[in-house]
Amino acid sequence: FLNLANYIDEIIILKSSKKKIQKDFLDTINIISKTTFIPIVAGGCIRSIKDADNLINSGADKIIINKLFNENPKICKQISKRYGKQFIVGSIDFLIKSNKFMIYDSYTKKYYFKKINKLVDDLSKNGAGEILLQSVDKDGTGFGLEKKIMKEIKKKDFPIILMGGVGNYEHIIDGYNINNCEAISTANLFNFIGKEFINVRKKLERKFNLPKKGNQDIKKLKNYFL
């Protein structure tokens, strides 16, 4: 993570099991938070305010919530009230069935129809300060983002993040050019393609004339990376 600190803005750490948040996961967050300056977004099976408390006390800067927005949005509102909307990233898993965007429940392995724009607004009303849209179809493929999903969403005053399908730097550039898309999230480049994160950052710096992280002092960057 220290090697990546100059090339990414946040790192998302998700617990993949369905078990409640336990000490080993909190210890992992704590270790990572002490070895990098990268802001940490942590989540997976958040069910209570106590879970949120434990994550932030372990070093998380934000939490990511998915299922709890359906099960108990009241708790999401309470967490937001305690820590602020900027603390919660609302996550939506989606896929395409019969040419329609469907919401996917990773716990039940079922999917259902709900208008994406309305769901995004519902998550915002219940405490989410950002929305992460993850394509189940594209996840892990490296074939590119599901850009059409953004046509379903009207202009928002909060960030929308796209995830699923990034395989090279051109896919990130594609995301950069999508209306309403504020950021791109990828695990593929980090896990399978060696130093591609660093290569992506350098290529984006050249293409969009971005400040060169690591080569300029913090004062020159502070107004750009907020």
Residue 133 three-state SS: strand
* Catalytically annotated residues: 93
Q: Which residue has the tokens 């078990």?
A: 19
Query: 205 φ, ψ to 5°?
Result: -60, -45
- What token pair was written down for 51? 């879970």
Residue 76 Cα to chain centre, angstroms: 17
Q: How far apart are CA 126 and CA 204, in angstroms?
A: 35
* Pick from 43, 37, 10: nearest CA to 25: 43
Contact predicate 76/69, CB 8 Å: yes
Residue 33 Cα to chain centre, angstroms: 17
Complete DSSP assignment for 37-52: -S-EEEESS--SHHHH
Looking at 133-195, list the stretches that DSSP marks H as alpha helix, in order from N- to C-terminal side.
169-176, 188-192
